[in-house]
C-alpha cells in the first residue's frame, strides 16, 4: 500500500506537479471562499477563460505567457466594469459579453498561430509538465495572494458581508472588490497549468462550495476549502499517474468534486 504512494514520488516530474497542486490549491481555495460567498463564480469564469487569448497573444508577440495571461484577465475585469458602468447593461451581461469576446478572440488567434496541438495543455491543463520556473511563479503568486488575504482579512470580510457598513466606516468596498478581482486574476493565471483555462473556475468554486457547507466562520470555510483542494489535487495526481488514459486536469477536478458531493449528501438540509 505504502509502495503505491511512494513509487510516483521517485519521479521528479511528479514531485514538481505535487508542489504545483499544493500551492495552487491553497491559493485557489482561499480566494474561492470569497468568490463563492460573494457570488462571483461567473466573473471568475470570465477571468480564467480570458487566459486563452492572453497566452496565445503573448506567443504571437513573443512575450512571457504569464504576462499576456495576466494582461488579458485584467482587461476582461476592466472591460466588464466599463461596460456595466452605463445604464441598461447589467454586470451579468457585461461579464458574458467580455467572456465570449475574449474567448472568441483566443480561438481566432489560435488559428492564426496555426498550431492547435500546442494549446491543448493551455485548455485542459498539463500539470505533469511544469518546470522549476513555473513552480517559482506559482509559489510567488501563492505568497502574494495569501499575504494579501491575510492582511486585508477583516476588511474583505466586512465588505463581503455588509457593504454598506464598510462604506460607512470608510473602508472603501469598491477598492476592495477591485483588489479581490486582481487577486483572482493572479491566482487564475498561476493555476491554469493545473487544470487548464476551461476548468480553472472549478478550483475556485468546488472547494469553497464544500467549505460553505461545513464552515461556520470565514476562516473555517477557508480551512475546509483548502482541505478539499489539497485532497482533490493530490488524489487527482495519483489517479492520473496510475490510470494512463486519465488526463491530470480532469482527474484533479473530479477528485475535488467527490468530497463536495459527499458533504452535500451527508449534511442536513437547511
Contacting residues toward other proteins, per CB under 8 A: 37-38, 150-155, 157-158, 160-165, 167-171, 212, 214-221, 223-224, 227
DSSP states along 28-47:
HHHHHHHHHHTT-HHHHHHH
Instruction: Decide whether 65 or 219 has the Cβ nearer to other proteins.
Output: 219
What's the closest the beta carbon of residue 204 comes to other proteins, in angstroms? 17
- Minimum CB separation of residue 244 from other proteins in Å reads 36
- In the block, residue with C-alpha cell 490510470: 243
For residue 210, the minimal CB distance to other proteins (Å) is 11
User: Which 3 state secondary structure label does DSSP give 19?
Assistant: helix
Kindly write down the DSSP assignment for every residue of 7-22, as one continuous string: HHHTSHHHHHHHHHHH
DSSP output for 198-257: TTHHHHHHHHHHHHHHH-SSHHHHHHHHHHHHHHHHHHHHHHHHHSTTS-HHHHHHHHHH
Closest distance to other proteins from the beta carbon of 211 (Å) = 8
Residue (118 or 162) nearer to other proteins, CB: 162
Cβ proximity to other proteins: between 9 and 174 the closer is 174
Q: Return the number of the residue (97 or 155) whose C-beta is nearest other proteins.
A: 155
16 versus 177: smaller Cβ distance to other proteins = 177
d(CA 176, CA 81): 14
Our CB check for other proteins shows the closer of 3 and 164 to be 164
The nearest distance, CB 155 to other proteins, in angstroms, is 7
Q: Which residues have a Cβ under 8 Å from the Cβ of 27 and sit 6 or more positions away? A: 138, 141, 142, 145, 146, 187, 190, 191
Q: Provide the total of helices (H) and of strands (E) in the chain, helices listed first.
A: 14, 0
Give me the least distance between CB of 220 and other proteins, in Å please.
5
Cβ atoms of residues 229 and 256 within 8 Å: yes
For other proteins, which is the closer residue by CB, 243 or 261?
261
Q: State the nearest-atom distance from the C-beta of 39 to other proteins, in Å.
A: 8
Amino acid at each position: 500500500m505504502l509502495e503505491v504512494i511512494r513509487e510516483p514520488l521517485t519521479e521528479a516530474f511528479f514531485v514538481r506537479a505535487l508542489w504545483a497542486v499544493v500551492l495552487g490549491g491553497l491559493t485557489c481555495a482561499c480566494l474561492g471562499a470569497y468568490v463563492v460567498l460573494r457570488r462571483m463564480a461567473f466573473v471568475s469564469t470570465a477571468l480564467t477563460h480570458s487566459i486563452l487569448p492572453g497566452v496565445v497573444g503573448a506567443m504571437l508577440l513573443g512575450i512571457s505567457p504569464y504576462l499576456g495571461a495576466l494582461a488579458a484577465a485584467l482587461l476582461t475585469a476592466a472591460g466588464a466594469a466599463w461596460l456595466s458602468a452605463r445604464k441598461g447593461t447589467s454586470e451579468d451581461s457585461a461579464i458574458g459579453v467580455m467572456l465570449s469576446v475574449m474567448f472568441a478572440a483566443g480561438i481566432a488567434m489560435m488559428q492564426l498561430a496555426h498550431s492547435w496541438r500546442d494549446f491543448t495543455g493551455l485548455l485542459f491543463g498539463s500539470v505533469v509538465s511544469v518546470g522549476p520556473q513555473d513552480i517559482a511563479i506559482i509559489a510567488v503568486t501563492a505568497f502574494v495572494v495569501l499575504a494579501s488575504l491575510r492582511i486585508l482579512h477583516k476588511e474583505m470580510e466586512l465588505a463581503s458581508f455588509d457593504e454598506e457598513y464598510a462604506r460607512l466606516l470608510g473602508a472603501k468596498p469598491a477598492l476592495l472588490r477591485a483588489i479581490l478581482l486582481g487577486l483572482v486574476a493572479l491566482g487564475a493565471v498561476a493555476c491554469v497549468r493545473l487544470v487548464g483555462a476551461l476548468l480553472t473556475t472549478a478550483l475556485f468554486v468546488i472547494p469553497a462550495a464544500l467549505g460553505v457547507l461545513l464552515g461556520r466562520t470565514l476562516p473555517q470555510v477557508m480551512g475546509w476549502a483548502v482541505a478539499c483542494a489539497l485532497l482533490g489535487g493530490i488524489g487527482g495526481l495519483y489517479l492520473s499517474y496510475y490510470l494512463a488514459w486519465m488526463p491530470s486536469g480532469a482527474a484533479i477536478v473530479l477528485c475535488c468534486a467527490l468530497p463536495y458531493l459527499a458533504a452535500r449528501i451527508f449534511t442536513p438540509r437547511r
